[in-house]
């Protein structure tokens, strides 16, 4: 498999979806990095300008980027995160084997070398992948970075759920012996897992149990950011992360925020990807979402780090004449949906699940979050901007407004002709998601299904509540609001962690519906093993349809992010590689 072909295919799809080719005002160096144009007078401006260009381009060094978030991250530890915005943000202090090119438009979907000197060298069967990293790399304390540190980082992030439970476990699923290795905290063998070889300090070889044609995408994940074993203390590592990027932590206060400053050990000569223009980054947690919007409008904040756009309360203001030219309505490459858990009664009966599918007025859900500017009505899990999308509607209703008659018929078939009561979850600090939940609640009530909304904080939503099967079962959480964007921009990168049975975890899981269908599991495994790119692409749409047919998910909205950029934000561009938010490797500030 040539991952560059897959990226190019998605890039073309994105260009078509955005209705424009990716022309940008930036210039690029000859090593795959990105160099903002000097002179802001030539920079792109206007509504949606950052979708395909770099807005307020500048090569000026200095300034502070101020970021705010309405809750806390799952973790800033690169090996213990699954939030897209943390993956984007962590590139400032944690370099990975490969990364997505910081660039405007479709160029931002290109995978380029980061720590590595080139893309992976794959065996003919896509079961062995070899990378060589640059020599002379150093941590912020001056110690050398070696491939042994990358191996250790993967071991701790994929094989130690007792300490690090938030991230995905692709490496565990695909490495030879991944089902037996107990992780570095339990397995005292100093050589670690045998299927990752480090024959010298600059070479790392991955031996897979089965073919994995998307492996270069996996090498972009923050889990490949090196971690020195001597500095690791499991969950506590987040308090003293050792930097491999251009910035290091000057301070970190759990639940409050962090400050990043320049890492004197970082070398631009050894990092063709990053511009590293700002002097510092300040990120604040637990800031009210509407307050963040107001701070953006006042120019006191550079960016909402969550990257999901302004709140419904602020939308009318920013779409007015005064602010509209500073907005970007970006496709998020993500779908908002509701999981239906068949392990919670009465959803063990598919007809009860179908009743929910037919009852929901999706247009009311769209209206609740602010209308079409915040997204299109969804009928599939895969959004149209992800490679492999196929258009279908398994539970059609007139105008996507629900069908009471079909819902009532399904209720009768499942033995609850008068309806039933159920608990539904949503994230308390995400106004749009709460609005969606309320709209769904109103739809269900029309057919006799009484949904009680239980709200939880976003930062612990998956690790403590909706992503913990034992908690879900104990509290009878039958319906769970969520949203998902691709781990990398292919159908597999979108679907695997939310529909494969192996993704069900004791905590921190994203397969909220606990779907473990043997046919779906096999179809995913077969498709990612196929080195024929066209066949893989078709398979993703087929698998999506198989999932929706189980009636365990209700696709709601193909999300858009209505982003706002203050005038003092420079080098602003949207990256589809990170769910349609701004690219934090490029983002700078004139303040």
Q: What are phi and psi of 450, to 5 degrees?
A: -100, 110
Query: Full-prediction pTM beyond 0.85?
Result: no
The residue written with tokens 């943000």 in the block is 89
Residue 251: other Cβ atoms inside 10 A:
11
Q: What is the C-alpha separation between 354 and 544, in angstroms, rounded?
A: 17
Q: How far is CA 464 from CA 88, 114, 286, 516, in A?
A: 23, 34, 18, 21
Roughly what angle, to the nearest 10 degrees, separates helices 533-549 and 491-499?
30
pLDDT recorded at residue 63: 97
Q: How many residues does the chain have?
A: 591
Percent composition of the chain: helix, strand, coil (DSSP 3-state, to 5): 35, 20, 45
What contacts 224, CB < 8 A, 6 or more positions away?
96, 97, 98, 115, 150, 153, 154, 218
Question: In degrees to the nearest 10, what's the CA dihedral of 213, 219, 222, 223?
Answer: 80
Cβ–Cβ contacts within 10 Å for residue 588, how many?
27
239 preceded by a cis bond (ω within 30 of 0): no
- DSSP one-letter code for 145: P
What are phi and psi for residue 554, nearest 5 degrees?
-120, 100
* Strand, coil or helix: 527: helix
Per-residue pLDDT of the chain (591 residues; tens, 9 = 90+): 222 233 333 333 333 333 322 222 222 232 333 444 333 334 478 999 999 999 999 999 999 999 999 999 999 999 999 999 999 999 999 999 999 999 999 899 999 999 999 999 999 999 999 999 999 999 999 999 999 999 999 999 999 999 999 999 999 999 999 999 999 999 989 999 999 999 999 999 999 999 999 999 999 999 999 999 999 999 999 999 999 999 999 999 999 999 999 999 999 999 999 999 999 999 999 999 999 999 999 999 999 999 999 998 899 999 999 999 999 999 998 999 999 999 999 999 999 999 999 999 999 999 999 899 999 999 999 998 888 999 999 999 999 999 999 999 999 999 999 999 999 999 999 988 999 999 999 999 999 999 999 999 998 999 999 999 999 999 999 999 999 988 888 899 999 999 999 999 999 999 999 999 999 999 999 999 988 889 999 999 999 999 999 999 999 999 999 999 999 999 999 998 999 999 999 999 999
DSSP state string for 457-503: -GGGIIIIITT-HHHHHHTTEEEEEEEEE-SSSBHHHHHHHHH-GGG
Closest to 575 measured CA to CA, from 62, 2, 112, 80: 112
pLDDT of residue 180: 95
> What is the DSSP secondary structure assignment for residue 230, as one 8-state letter?
G
d(C-alpha 244, C-alpha 274), whole Å: 12
Give the per-residue pLDDT at 44: 72
Q: How far apart are the first and last CA of the chain?
A: 45
Sign of the torsion angle spanned by Cα atoms 156, 160, 162, 165: positive
Q: Is the dihedral of CA 411, 414, 418, 424 positive or negative?
A: negative
Burial class (CB in 10 A: 0-12, 13-18, 19+), 368: buried
What the block records as the tokens of 292 is 């963040």
**Domains of the chain listed by start with CATH number:** 3-286+568-589 (3.40.190.10), 332-560 (3.10.105.10)
- Element (DSSP H or E) covering residue 260: strand 257-262
Q: Strand 196-200 relative to strand 203-207: parallel, antiparallel, unpaired?
A: antiparallel
Strand order in the sheet with 203-207: 121-122, 128-132, 203-207, 196-200
CB-based burial of residue 398 (10 Å sphere; 0-12 exposed, 13-18 middle, 19+ buried)? exposed
Burial of 265 from C-beta contacts in 10 A (0-12 / 13-18 / 19+) = middle
Residue 390: name the closest of 379, 377, 400, 402 by CA: 379
Q: Distance between CA 69 and CA 281 in Å, rounded?
A: 13
Which contiguous run of DSSP H or E holds residue 112?
strand 111-113
Q: Any bridge partners for residue 331, and if so which?
A: 560
Cα-based distances in Å from 240 to 262, 385, 400: 16, 38, 50
Counting beta carbons within 10 angstroms of the beta carbon of residue 418, is it exposed (0 to 12), middle (13 to 18) or buried (19 or more)? exposed
Exposure string for 32-65, b = 16+ CB within 10 A, e = fewer: bbbbbbeebeebbeeebbbbbbbbbbbbbeebbb
83 and 3 Cβ atoms separated by less than 8 Å: no
Measured in degrees and rounded to the nearest 5, phi and psi for residue 330 equal -100, 135
Residues 6+ apart with CB under 8 A from 416: 346, 352, 355, 448
Nearest in space to 482 (alpha carbons), one of 551, 433, 431: 433
What distances in angstroms separate CA 155 from CA 73, 74, 181, 233, 545, one per listed residue?
A: 22, 19, 9, 13, 34
H or E element, residue 281:
strand 280-284
* pLDDT value of position 373: 92
């Amino acid at each position: 498999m040539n991952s560059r072909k897959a990226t190019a295919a998605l890039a073309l799809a994105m260009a078509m979806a955005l209705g424009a080719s990716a022309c940008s005002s930036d210039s690029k160096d000859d090593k795959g990095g990105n160099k903002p144009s000097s002179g802001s007078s030539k920079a792109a401006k206007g509504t949606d300008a950052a979708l395909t260009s770099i807005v307020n381009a500048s090569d000026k060094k200095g300034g502070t980027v101020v970021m705010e978030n309405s809750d806390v991250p799952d973790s800033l530890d690169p090996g213990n995160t699954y939030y897209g915005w943390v993956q984007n943000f962590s590139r400032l202090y944690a370099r990975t084997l490969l990364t997505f090119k910081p660039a405007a438009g479709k160029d931002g979907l290109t995978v380029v070398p980061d720590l590595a000197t080139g893309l992976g060298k794959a065996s003919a069967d896509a079961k062995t992948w070899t990378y060589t990293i640059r020599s002379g790399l150093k941590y912020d304390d001056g110690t050398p970075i070696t491939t042994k540190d990358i191996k250790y980082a993967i071991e701790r992030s994929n094989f130690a759920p007792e300490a690090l439970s938030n991230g995905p476990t692709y490496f565990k699923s695909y490495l030879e012996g991944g089902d037996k290795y107990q992780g570095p905290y339990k397995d005292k063998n100093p050589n670690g897992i045998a299927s990752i070889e480090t024959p010298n300090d600059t070479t790392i070889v991955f031996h897979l149990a089965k073919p994995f044609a998307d492996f270069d995408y996996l090498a972009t994940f923050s889990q490949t950011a090196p971690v020195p074993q001597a500095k690791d203390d499991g969950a506590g590592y987040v308090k003293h992360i050792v930097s491999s990027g251009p910035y290091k932590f000057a301070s970190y206060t759990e639940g409050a925020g962090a400050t990043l400053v320049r890492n004197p050990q970082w070398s631009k000569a050894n990092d063709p990807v990053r511009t590293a223009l700002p002097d510092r980054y300040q990120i604040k947690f637990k800031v009210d979402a509407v307050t963040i919007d107001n701070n953006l409008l006042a120019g006191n904040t550079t960016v909402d780090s969550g990257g999901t756009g302004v709140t419904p309360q602020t939308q009318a203001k920013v779409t007015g004449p005064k602010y509209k030219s500073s907005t970007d309505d970006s496709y998020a490459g993500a779908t908002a949906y509701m999981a239906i858990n068949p392990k919670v009664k009465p959803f063990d009966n598919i007809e009860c699940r179908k009743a929910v599918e037919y009852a929901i007025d999706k247009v009311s859900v769209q209206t609740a979050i602010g209308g079409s500017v915040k997204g299109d009505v969804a009928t599939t899990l895969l959004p149209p901007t992800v490679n492999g999308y196929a258009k279908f509607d398994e539970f059609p209703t007139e105008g996507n407004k629900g069908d009471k008659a079909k819902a009532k018929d399904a209720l009768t078939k499942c033995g609850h002709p008068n309806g039933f009561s159920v608990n539904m979850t949503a994230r308390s600090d995400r106004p749009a998601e709460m609005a969606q939940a309320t709209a769904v609640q109103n739809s269900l009530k029309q057919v006799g299904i009484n949904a009680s909304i239980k709200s939880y904080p976003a930062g612990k939503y998956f690790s403590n509540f909706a992503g913990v099967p034992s908690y879900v079962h104990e509290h009878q959480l039958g319906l769970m609001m969520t949203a998902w964007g691709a781990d990398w921009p292919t159908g597999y990168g979108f679907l695997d962690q939310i529909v494969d049975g192996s993704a069900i975890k004791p905590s921190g899981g994203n397969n909220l519906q606990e779907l473990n269908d043997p046919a779906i599991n096999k179809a995913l495994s077969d498709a990612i093993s196929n080195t024929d790119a066209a066949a893989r692409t078709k398979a993703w749409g087929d698998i999506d349809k198989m999932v929706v047919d189980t009636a365990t998910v209700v696709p709601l909205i193909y999300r858009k992010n209505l982003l706002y950029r203050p005038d003092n934000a420079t080098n602003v561009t949207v990256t589809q590689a990170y769910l349609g938010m701004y690219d934090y490797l490029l983002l700078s500030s004139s303040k």
